[in-house]
Structure 1
Amino acid sequence: MLLCLNCIIVNLFSGAIFIQQARGWSIYVSVLILLALTAVSTVTGGLASVMYTDTIQCFVMLAGGILLTYKAINEIGGIGNLKPRYFEAKPSVIPVNATTCAMPKDTAFLLLRPIDDHDMPWLGFLAGQTFASMWYWCTDQVIVQRLLAAKNLAHAQGGTLLAGFLKLMPLFIIIIPGMISRILFPDDVSCVDPVECYRVCQSYTGCSNIAYPRLVLALMPSGLKGLMMAGMLAALMSGLSSIFNSCSTMFTIDIWPLIRPKASVREQMIVGRSFTFAMIAFSIAWIVVIQEMQSGELYIYIQAISSILSPPIATVYGLSVIWPRMNEPAAFWTLIIGLVIGSVRFILDIIYREPPCGEPDLRPSFIKDIHYMYFALILTIISVITSVFVSLITKPTENFRLIRTTYWTRFDESIRDDEVKPVPAKTMELTDMDWHEEDDKCDVDLEEGEEADDVMIKDKKVSLCKKFFIWFCGYEDTEQSTSKSKDPEGVGLKSSVADAFESHSGVASLRQTLTQKIILRTTLALIVVLSVFLFTYFSLPFHMHNSP
């Protein structure tokens, strides 16, 4: 739940930055506008709007990002000028105690940096950040729900590989333009004086968050500028819609029944919407904390929170897939212990905030000297030990529950003890025909009755405010209730199930053809080799990557 709240906060804040830079409004006014746009998109379009906006904004942002990179490189006179001009970019207003902070870091062009680096130590990145990334890309519902919509395993793996290739693009269409933004606007993007920073972006700790939107607004033509901003906001709105749906569903289905076991569907819908409003209110209030934490750098804040809270989830997921002895008690206690430890670190980070650059760091050693990536590694080790220990002292999982739930049994076609055998489609169709005949007889009897009109429910006049409340809370209107009362046995639903079973039989398959396997595995090998090459190329101190 904390991770869901964090996702909402980050999406709101990042979207508000774009609106703030485009219109010059307050960050909180921008947040309210983003929420209003998201509400209209979600309520009127539902999940269909999420799918359409995801597809469209991908092409818009990819094309716009490539064009922006091209224009930005031309603006500085070519890619060869990137390094020398970047190391010369510094703000004009520099406090006496912040001279070092105003200068670009020597490791700016290195991905894997020294082991004690303040921003990204190589050991912490490879050994600690990996588990936070595994949580996001393998278990986060916003990602997984896209994958589960695939037609079959081949489509799911193909979509994952495509996402992997697209994930390489930010290095060229986001990071490089961001560095050029510092070159072109050093007084805004790289400000270190608190007064100047607040004037630029309403934050005392830094304005690096505005680098990309500042470049978009400055270099892109008017039409493309609006299209690019629309694509970015569409992506953020899509993410917010997915997170709202996931979090409210989690609370309503998993937590609320523990408080109200006999809650009606209507009550659950009201609770879900109310919980969404509560999360939004908390997220808006938390924006102040984001602006002051991690030197005001949003991306660092995202990675820090993920590293603190996500390793237990990644550990449970990984061990459950590869180790059949892993059981439910082990998963429960691993998540609880990991959450407690991560929450303690999270609270301490809020209490002992990193001081502004140039001021002495008086934080306790266990906060100051343990990088969040190293903390992720420590928390992962604790989670693994907890999972193994609890699994070995408790009863193992029943064998039938391991069928198709681990890597080693993913192709096991045995029937589970808790699995309902599918009913043949023909049998379901025959049963539906009998139900339809009975329903038709009832309709005929009703039509031939002399007082049939007397039993019809007449619509009552309802005020506009009440109609809006009924619609917003998911109440059914009279017509819908009446139509449902004519179908007490759920004939239409059962017929739909039969049709769905017949149409999807053989589609959602784990089997792959030889051609599919060759293409997918070749593509996987290609992306792995390409990723390793890029990491190596941008980590070794040679060519344009050596220090100045």
Structure 2
Amino acid sequence: METGVTRLSVVDIVVVAVYFVIVIAVGIYASCTASKGSVSGYFLAGRRMTFITVGASLFVSNIGSQHFIGLAGSGSAGGIGVGAWEFNAILLLQLLGFIFVPVYIASQIYTMPSYLNKRFGGKRLRIFFAMLSLILYIFTKCSVDLYTGALFIQQSLGWDLYLSIFGLIAVVAVLTITGGLTAVIYTDTFQAVLMIFGASALTVKGFHDIGGFDGLWSQYPLAVANETVANTSCHEVNEHWNVLLRPLSDTEMPWLGFLMGQTPGSIWYWCTDQASNPSPSSAIITVIVQRSLAAKSLSHAQGATLLAGLIKTLPLFIMVMPGMISRVLYPNEVACSVPEKCYEICQSYAGCSNIAYPKLVLGIMPIGARGLMMAVMIAALMSDLDSIFNSASTLFTIDIYKHMRKNPSTRELLIAGRIFVVVMTVTAIAWVPVVKETQGGQVFLYIQEVTNYLVPPVACVFLLAVLWPRCNEKGAFWGLMAGFLVGAVRLVLLFAFPGPDRCGDSDERPAFLRDFQYMYFAVMLFWLTCAVSVVVSLLTDRPDHTQVRSLFLKMSTFCAIVFVSVVSHNILDQIHEEQK
């Protein structure tokens, strides 16, 4: 099935406008009713959220336009294998709920930098964490969000990609809403419902149009564009497209590399990815860990991770498979391989798999419904960008600029934060050409590769901080430095010697870049950091005994309470059954 170019109609544009009015109203209402008179109220919604609200917010915090674009794009390019990341997240969410959150609550902290400061003391780890977060914001979050959001606008309205980027930034600047975590959580919950139902409806419609699962399984391997590059195989579907964990010989996602190498990156994302300062005057970033800390109790936080894990089974069906369906329905556009043709379609020489989801929305959804879907995607993106801008400003001014300047005024900090956001945005826009041409144009795989060169050391240090009382500040710091240096060198070399970005190009990179798959490199990076941290900790003084003992006793108490509660509940159930 191939159709002409489809754009948003006037009705769709009206739906988008009405949707944004509703979102703004919900945000303002929640802001007015939120408890913001304290740090806990502003940053953690008064710690009164139930597991349903927090679980939905955990899911939507992870799912944004880059997820829909990325998962659907990789699904269209390589099959269901990319869905393995979602199942990996199910397990790591439980690590957050049952190992990390009890420690964070026992430590009485609001943010991850403050946990590092309380666990190890000193300022070095806090500054490093802030700098690493800013690097990741620029190269994996801000740039990717701008690119994926602009793709939605480009496909919907037919604008130039970079005009779409500047239009997106303008809308974010006009419609930014502040008001603490409560406003964002309630807005996210509203969007999560629409996302899931809208994406589910799109999936059902897509399967209906191609003849169900049997139609997808039979047609997807044959979905090839009419025009191809002679004597190449880049237009062909991966031979392992129908398995989640691919053989060791697979260069994109070998099962051993995925299980061992992706896990540290997932630990960083799900268990430690939150960076801000508990200053009521500073802006707020509300990401994964902070959502969990907003729960009214430990049991609600753990219930939220279980609920979020359950919902994480959906993306394989409502994002990855729709991307595959889009390739079946629109092979000449989604599966294009001729570089010049691809650039005409999506302004990328590497391929157009990233347009799979918006193309499917515009192609098969009825008028009005496609406007609503586009509005949900763009609103989620705007929420992400708003959080990124606020968090980056806070991190730079509080954790970095204040250490460079003695006693800066509030006005000076405000100006410095705004200037940094402008610099970060310009840098991110300049980086967009790299994002859209790397990893064969698959934005989701680009994110995974870059983060896996930088975050495994962070995952190692947090695991040691939570599980090994003997780890001290010197061990953690030098372990991070060693891991970061090795990972950063690899990342610089990766962009200094880029791989083939067009169909037909040969891979001229050195063997240690070409043949050393990034997931295996992440495994090495993780254990290198752990080894350095352990050795340095053992060779230097023990951490403050009272501080560490208090943290771990509290953690043990929480775990004991949970265990006793579960056992008692089972005993009471058995007694009740016997009485019957």
Q: TM-score range by the shorter chain?
A: 0.7 to 0.9
Alignment match of 2:203 (pick from 51, 63, 69) = 69
| 1:39 Cα offset (Å) | 2.2
Give, as a single letter, the amino acid of the residue that structure 2 aligns with 1:111: L
Alpha-carbon spacing, 1:194–1:143, altered in 2? closer, same or farther (3 Å)? same
Q: Which residue number corresponds to residue 13 of structure 2?
A: none
| 1:514 Cα offset (Å) | 6.5
Q: Which residue number corresponds to residue 118 of structure 1?
A: 251
**Alpha-carbon distance between aligned partners in 2 of 1:384 and 1:325, rounded to the nearest angstrom:** 13
**Alpha-carbon distance between aligned partners in 2 of 1:197 and 1:53, rounded to the nearest angstrom:** 37
**Alpha-carbon distance between aligned partners in 1 of 2:569 and 2:464, rounded to the nearest angstrom:** 29
**Is this contact kept in 2: 1:53–1:238, CA < 8 A?**
no
Alpha-carbon spacing, 1:53–1:13, altered in 2? closer, same or farther (3 Å)? farther
Alignment match of 2:511 (pick from 333, 343, 365) = 365
**Is this contact kept in 2: 1:326–1:387, CA < 8 A?**
yes
| 1:35 Cα offset (Å) | 1.6
For structure 1, list consecutive stretches of 5 or more residues without a partner in the other structure.
Answer: 414-508, 521-548
TM-score w.r.t. length of structure 1: 0.74
Alignment match of 1:338 (pick from 449, 458, 483) = 483
Alignment match of 2:465 (pick from 320, 329, 333) = 320
Matched, 1:401 2:547: yes
**Alpha-carbon distance between aligned partners in 1 of 2:365 and 2:357, rounded to the nearest angstrom:** 12
Give, as a single letter, the amino acid of the residue that structure 2 aligns with 1:80: D
Q: Which residue number corresponds to residue 24 of structure 1?
A: 158
Q: Which residue number corresponds to residue 106 of structure 1?
A: 239
**Alpha-carbon distance between aligned partners in 1 of 2:173 and 2:300, rounded to the nearest angstrom:** 31
Larger deviation, residues 130-139 vs 256-265: 256-265
Q: Which residue number corresponds to residue 231 of structure 1?
A: 376
| 1:44 Cα offset (Å) | 5.7
Alpha-carbon spacing, 1:219–1:171, altered in 2? closer, same or farther (3 Å)? same
Q: Which residue number corresponds to residue 304 of structure 1?
A: 449
**Alpha-carbon distance between aligned partners in 2 of 1:517 and 1:297, rounded to the nearest angstrom:** 47
Give, as a single letter, the amino acid of the residue that structure 2 aligns with 1:66: S
Q: Which residue number corresponds to residue 269 of structure 2?
A: 136
Larger deviation, residues 151-160 vs 369-378: 151-160
Alignment match of 1:276 (pick from 411, 421, 425) = 421
Give, as a single letter, the amino acid of the residue that structure 2 aligns with 1:70: V
| 1:232 Cα offset (Å) | 1.1
Q: How does 1:383-462 map to 2 (within 5 A)?
A: 383-406=529-552, 409-411=554-556
Q: Which residue number corresponds to residue 462 of structure 1?
A: none
Alpha-carbon spacing, 1:190–1:518, altered in 2? closer, same or farther (3 Å)? farther
Q: Which residue number corresponds to residue 15 of structure 1?
A: 149
Matched, 1:188 2:329: no
**Is this contact kept in 2: 1:152–1:510, CA < 8 A?**
no
Give, as a single letter, the amino acid of the residue that structure 1 aligns with 2:367: S
For residues 440-487 of structure 1, what are the alpha-carbon distances to aligned partners after superposition, in whole Å with 9 as ceiling and x for unaligned? xxxxxxxxxxxxxxxxxxxxxxxxxxxxxxxxxxxxxxxxxxxxxxxx
Alpha-carbon spacing, 1:510–1:59, altered in 2? closer, same or farther (3 Å)? farther
**Is this contact kept in 2: 1:42–1:49, CA < 8 A?**
no
Q: Which residue number corresponds to residue 230 of structure 2?
A: 96
| 1:89 Cα offset (Å) | 0.6
**Alpha-carbon distance between aligned partners in 2 of 1:169 and 1:65, rounded to the nearest angstrom:** 10
Alpha-carbon spacing, 1:46–1:9, altered in 2? closer, same or farther (3 Å)? farther
Alpha-carbon spacing, 1:513–1:335, altered in 2? closer, same or farther (3 Å)? closer
For structure 2, list consecutive stretches of 5 or more residues without a partner in the other structure.
Answer: 1-133, 275-286, 571-580
Alpha-carbon spacing, 1:46–1:7, altered in 2? closer, same or farther (3 Å)? same
Q: Which residue number corresponds to residue 243 of structure 1?
A: 388
Between structure 1 and structure 2, the one with the greater Rg is 1
TM-score w.r.t. length of structure 2: 0.70
Q: Which residue number corresponds to residue 192 of structure 2?
A: 58
**Alpha-carbon distance between aligned partners in 2 of 1:130 and 1:241, rounded to the nearest angstrom:** 28
For residues 308-362 of structure 1, what are the alpha-carbon distances to aligned partners after superposition, in whole Å with 9 as ceiling and x for unaligned? 1110000001111111111111111122222211111111111111113333211
Alignment match of 1:200 (pick from 339, 342, 345) = 345
| 1:112 Cα offset (Å) | 0.7
Give, as a single letter, the amino acid of the residue that structure 2 aligns with 1:10: V
**Alpha-carbon distance between aligned partners in 1 of 2:442 and 2:455, rounded to the nearest angstrom:** 20
Q: Which residue number corresponds to residue 457 of structure 1?
A: none
Give, as a single letter, the amino acid of the residue that structure 2 aligns with 1:119: E
**Alpha-carbon distance between aligned partners in 1 of 2:183 and 2:383, rounded to the nearest angstrom:** 8
Q: Which residue number corresponds to residue 354 of structure 1?
A: 499
Q: Which residue number corresponds to residue 117 of structure 2?
A: none
Large movers: runs of 4+ above 4 Å: 43-49, 509-520
**Is this contact kept in 2: 1:404–1:412, CA < 8 A?**
no
SS at match of 1:97: coil
Alpha-carbon spacing, 1:221–1:252, altered in 2? closer, same or farther (3 Å)? same
Larger deviation, residues 309-318 vs 338-347: 338-347
Q: How does 1:498-513 map to 2 (within 5 A)?
A: none
**Alpha-carbon distance between aligned partners in 2 of 1:166 and 1:94, rounded to the nearest angstrom:** 39
**Alpha-carbon distance between aligned partners in 2 of 1:45 and 1:229, rounded to the nearest angstrom:** 25
Q: Which residue number corresponds to residue 87 of structure 1?
A: 221
| 1:161 Cα offset (Å) | 1.4
| 1:110 Cα offset (Å) | 0.8
**Is this contact kept in 1: 2:338–2:503, CA < 8 A?**
no
**Alpha-carbon distance between aligned partners in 2 of 1:518 and 1:38, rounded to the nearest angstrom:** 51
Alpha-carbon spacing, 1:262–1:57, altered in 2? closer, same or farther (3 Å)? same
Alpha-carbon spacing, 1:304–1:519, altered in 2? closer, same or farther (3 Å)? farther
**Is this contact kept in 1: 2:229–2:503, CA < 8 A?**
no
Alpha-carbon spacing, 1:200–1:29, altered in 2? closer, same or farther (3 Å)? same
| 1:48 Cα offset (Å) | 5.1
Alpha-carbon spacing, 1:119–1:220, altered in 2? closer, same or farther (3 Å)? same
**Alpha-carbon distance between aligned partners in 2 of 1:404 and 1:154, rounded to the nearest angstrom:** 21
**Alpha-carbon distance between aligned partners in 1 of 2:224 and 2:402, rounded to the nearest angstrom:** 56
**Is this contact kept in 2: 1:402–1:409, CA < 8 A?**
no
Q: Which residue number corresponds to residue 433 of structure 2?
A: 288
Alpha-carbon spacing, 1:518–1:254, altered in 2? closer, same or farther (3 Å)? farther
SS at match of 2:222: coil
**Alpha-carbon distance between aligned partners in 1 of 2:492 and 2:568, rounded to the nearest angstrom:** 49
Count of equivalent residues: 423
Q: Which residue number corresponds to residue 67 of structure 2?
A: none
**Alpha-carbon distance between aligned partners in 1 of 2:298 and 2:359, rounded to the nearest angstrom:** 41
